[in-house]
Structure 1
């Protein structure tokens, strides 16, 4: 009877021991996962900032953005406000850190070590498990992000960029598996015995030092990660969405480079290195080819004034500008490659940041698209697409990609960020804007009313102005544009009969005779339409 009574006590002690070791193993697994994740994030940040290799977090973000609708995308931008890019990336980074930490538990379950362990070195099974875990993560990343792997922010050509990004993923995830395996073995309880050739006290001191080493590595990686994060923030493209507004209610025919409107998809814009950057001409052409920057500039080139307008430009807004661009036309470039093959229906433009635009080839050729390396007499500024960008008259700015690296002629449409989200993919809408007056005026004498109108290469045939909210209209005088692809300036002399409040309205008719629509719609997803109105008080 006494032996039977002793069993419950032994079983209870055994359960307590298993529970204690299970808890210690879980804590060690989470600690190892956290340290491995911090080291991985540090490597990830270093490769991004100094080798131009996109982080898994950015690859994930690029992949997810393509799956969103335009409405959802804009709502997300509004929700995060000024933090619309860094905010989601930060959340994804925290998510990656949490996932990497929790994966430590999966690793512990897979290796199923009997605690306490005797050896200080991981066994073969542990290394193989860590290697398998790393391999699975690498394969998942390559499969899920295959289209996104082509980007490199130093400007590597697409195939080389994809190879470099894959190498980066291998380095990051192998480092994760290595640190996870080593750190877990150091953190779990060890069996201390005199038979090992050293005293129990010495063995305890050794494990204490090992655990301290794991903690130091984790702390060091965390500090380095914070420093890299601060460097990332300092390079942040805070100028995204910059508008070009009239000065003293007057718009300059040519917008200075530092005032030209800017929109970018990137938290940090590319910084292409001419030593590695190349322009590739490939696909359905007579012969493919590759150019260095200097070779490209040897091609016959031309200068042309072209106006760019963002699809998010609403009535009266300043997301549009005009510059004189210099480069080689697409027609000339293709002529040097034996022209397009008969089966070529689309031209796909790819940028070093992974941005892709696909448009009907015939339309792009008729618009006389320009591949420009200069802007207003200077090398392209970095934010405007250095070393090369595309200008396609008649299309919104989003379809005039920057940081160009490949021209590919294909027989089918190729999706990209904006097209996948469902944004408008057609000729820009006719617009007109009142630049002056926009404020109160003293009554008495004539008032000069003026502004701009734009319809891409369709041109502007007529501009009309109303001072009574559109009840009656007056024809304005047009100034000859700098080129068929720029905005047109208009003016009209107003002789008000009395003081009071007035609503000025403008509308334009394009070169084909089609009048600007009065229908008001927002910018998402088809581009804004409607007349621009200005309320003016004459005192």
Structure 2
């Protein structure tokens, strides 16, 4: 029996495939416009909305399970989901189109397909702008996004047109292929071909599923033990008076972190799933406003002309595990935030917080008393160089003693408020005060290392308290039963990490190395293991090595 008309299933399949191809190309265009011209990136907007619904403990668990690239994997998953949504829209649109009989299709296809593509583009534009974006908190046509309504309207229109026109092009081509094949294929032939395609699809999905589970299992297994913190000895929580720091001659130990982290090696964390903003100095402005009597705005040239100060300061991400890599140290140069607030005149009575707004729609706040501390800076330079784009150019905040999420990058606004403003991560369950918890890390030897027995070597690493300095670092080679005091390197300031080292001649056998720190106020590092969410991790960094 010859087939003279496409079935609903065939129409859906052709539309699904055409929508998938058109969706992939339209998504690529969307990302290009976002990266180059400031257009909207729907995966970024949707990802931000999803993380807002995710409890901090769940977010942290996934981050630790998958690793430091978790947000990139998350973005790719959303990206694939967006392309599949485009494919589904294509399939449904194909069913909705009034397809003429195949016998007259070649003459009539362009008369109904191209207008349908334009109509599809318009419907998608309205659906995203009036429904999807408001549901994610971005406002009607992105009114709440930093890129503004105009950029959102324009980029969505371009993306919608690209999808609609590409969809009809590929749909047109696929229907014509069906038309040619149906002239020589029987219904039985088509059923057999359809079953073959289903078998290939099922096998492909099974392979992808097994591979995904395998990767997750491998990451879980290999991550186990790298930051073990199960040693919980009985120890005083505070030593009075605090220990006198044991500064001394410091060796150049291979594997030990540099005291000053170079700009390209400094850790980078942001809320953005893939692309961080690129800001032009010529168009950038910093607005200081809110509960002040003289609000004002500065250009980049104007802020660079103000008196600046330098300070050494380390920073640590709140999602850093004990022994983790998200901790670095640099020489910063900038303007005290207190000086910028003073220029704004009198601060209104009842004002309690300062909110920092950023180019990428990120926002966070610090208490007014913290904002007025002399070490809280709006940084413009890093390690004697212009602040890099990835670290917040043209300007970022530095708040010693508080986790990195409060050190807002790409600042565009400094707003004094009289309410308890909750920032981007606080709305997702993370700490608002966010004081850094005293921590220490073994840099060398690495966990699982095999050392030469009875040969001189070093155990070395870093310790960090936020803004309280380090008075002592203790190291155990027997799992916390006995402790030795390490030698410290005199730090450039009490706002930075401190390098420490301990000479060691390991006996043959297995050894469990543990480290703990004491700050300048005598506070002893908390030995109780705790995950990063929601207040920052705690516990002792513990590694296993073998000497033979």
Would you call these one fold, judging by a TM-score over 0.5?
A: yes
Task: Work out the CA distance in 1 between the residues paired with 2:91 and 2:141.
Answer: 33
Task: Work out the CA distance in 2 between the residues paired with 1:454 and 1:177.
Answer: 55
Task: Work out the CA distance in 1 between the residues paired with 2:455 and 2:173.
Answer: 88
Partner residue of 1:307 out of 295, 307, 314: 314
Task: Work out the CA distance in 2 between the residues paired with 1:52 and 1:332.
Answer: 32
Question: In 2 relative to 1, CA 161–297 (structure 1 residues): closer, same or farther, beyond 3 Å?
Answer: farther
Please report how far the alpha carbon of residue 306 of structure 1 lies from its aligned counterpart in structure 2 after TM superposition.
Answer: 0.2
Please report how far the alpha carbon of residue 91 of structure 1 lies from its aligned counterpart in structure 2 after TM superposition.
Answer: 3.5
Within the alignment, does 1:165 sit opposite 2:152 as a pair?
yes
**1:452 is matched with which residue?**
462
Q: Show structure 1 runs of 5+ residues with no match.
A: 1-15, 190-245
**2:234 is matched with which residue?**
none
Per-residue CA deviations over 1:36-78 (Å, capped at 9, x if unaligned) read 6456335413312321323212221222122212343345446
Task: Work out the CA distance in 2 between the residues paired with 1:487 and 1:151.
Answer: 41
Per-residue CA deviations over 1:80-111 (Å, capped at 9, x if unaligned) read 66864454434433333333343346556777
Question: In 2 relative to 1, CA 324–39 (structure 1 residues): closer, same or farther, beyond 3 Å?
Answer: closer
Within the alignment, does 1:64 sit opposite 2:37 as a pair?
no
Task: Work out the CA distance in 2 between the residues paired with 1:249 and 1:38.
Answer: 44
**1:366 is matched with which residue?**
373
Please report how far the alpha carbon of residue 122 of structure 1 lies from its aligned counterpart in structure 2 after TM superposition.
Answer: 5.6
Partner residue of 1:274 out of 271, 277, 281: 281
Alignment of 1:115-130 (within 5 A): 121=111
Please report how far the alpha carbon of residue 374 of structure 1 lies from its aligned counterpart in structure 2 after TM superposition.
Answer: 0.9
Question: In 2 relative to 1, CA 467–85 (structure 1 residues): closer, same or farther, beyond 3 Å?
Answer: closer
* 3-state SS of paired residue (2:369): helix
Partner residue of 2:384 out of 371, 377, 383: 377
Question: In 2 relative to 1, CA 124–95 (structure 1 residues): closer, same or farther, beyond 3 Å?
Answer: closer
Within the alignment, does 1:420 sit opposite 2:419 as a pair?
no
CA RMSD of aligned residues (A): 4.4
**2:59 is matched with which residue?**
73
Within the alignment, does 1:486 sit opposite 2:504 as a pair?
no
**1:398 is matched with which residue?**
405
Greater shift, 327-336 or 78-87, is seen at: 78-87
Task: Work out the CA distance in 1 between the residues paired with 2:147 and 2:508.
Answer: 68
Task: Work out the CA distance in 1 between the residues paired with 2:293 and 2:310.
Answer: 27
Please report how far the alpha carbon of residue 304 of structure 1 lies from its aligned counterpart in structure 2 after TM superposition.
Answer: 0.2
Partner residue of 1:352 out of 353, 359, 367: 359
Task: Work out the CA distance in 1 between the residues paired with 2:96 and 2:115.
Answer: 10
Per-residue CA deviations over 1:248-288 (Å, capped at 9, x if unaligned) read 14443322223323334442333222233332323223333
Task: Work out the CA distance in 1 between the residues paired with 2:492 and 2:157.
Answer: 52
Within the alignment, does 1:45 sit opposite 2:31 as a pair?
yes
Per-residue CA deviations over 1:394-425 (Å, capped at 9, x if unaligned) read 11223223222222222334444432332344
Please report how far the alpha carbon of residue 247 of structure 1 lies from its aligned counterpart in structure 2 after TM superposition.
Answer: 5.5
Question: In 2 relative to 1, CA 28–520 (structure 1 residues): closer, same or farther, beyond 3 Å?
Answer: closer
Please report how far the alpha carbon of residue 383 of structure 1 lies from its aligned counterpart in structure 2 after TM superposition.
Answer: 2.5
Within the alignment, does 1:102 sit opposite 2:93 as a pair?
no
Within the alignment, does 1:141 sit opposite 2:107 as a pair?
no
**1:516 is matched with which residue?**
525
Does structure 1 conserve the Cα–Cα contact (< 8 Å) formed by 2:129 and 2:140? no
Task: Work out the CA distance in 1 between the residues paired with 2:257 and 2:142.
Answer: 37
Does structure 2 conserve the Cα–Cα contact (< 8 Å) formed by 1:149 and 1:166? no
Question: In 2 relative to 1, CA 254–150 (structure 1 residues): closer, same or farther, beyond 3 Å?
Answer: farther
Task: Work out the CA distance in 1 between the residues paired with 2:134 and 2:283.
Answer: 26
Between the two proteins, the alignment pairs up a number of residues equal to: 462
Does structure 1 conserve the Cα–Cα contact (< 8 Å) formed by 2:357 and 2:414? yes
Partner residue of 1:338 out of 336, 345, 349: 345
Please report how far the alpha carbon of residue 389 of structure 1 lies from its aligned counterpart in structure 2 after TM superposition.
Answer: 1.8
Per-residue CA deviations over 1:295-335 (Å, capped at 9, x if unaligned) read 21112211000011222433334432211000111111111
Partner residue of 2:541 out of 502, 514, 532: 532
- Could you say which structure has the greater relative contact order, defined with CA pairs below 8 angstroms and 6 or more residues apart? 2
Question: In 2 relative to 1, CA 367–314 (structure 1 residues): closer, same or farther, beyond 3 Å?
Answer: farther
Question: In 2 relative to 1, CA 184–258 (structure 1 residues): closer, same or farther, beyond 3 Å?
Answer: closer
* 3-state SS of paired residue (2:390): helix
* 3-state SS of paired residue (2:305): coil
Question: In 2 relative to 1, CA 162–512 (structure 1 residues): closer, same or farther, beyond 3 Å?
Answer: farther
Task: Work out the CA distance in 2 between the residues paired with 1:522 and 1:411.
Answer: 32
Task: Work out the CA distance in 2 between the residues paired with 1:88 and 1:513.
Answer: 42
Q: Show structure 2 runs of 5+ residues with no match.
A: 177-251
Please report how far the alpha carbon of residue 430 of structure 1 lies from its aligned counterpart in structure 2 after TM superposition.
Answer: 0.8
Does structure 1 conserve the Cα–Cα contact (< 8 Å) formed by 2:378 and 2:396? yes
Task: Work out the CA distance in 2 between the residues paired with 1:516 and 1:276.
Answer: 46
* 3-state SS of paired residue (1:366): coil
The structure with the larger Rg is 1
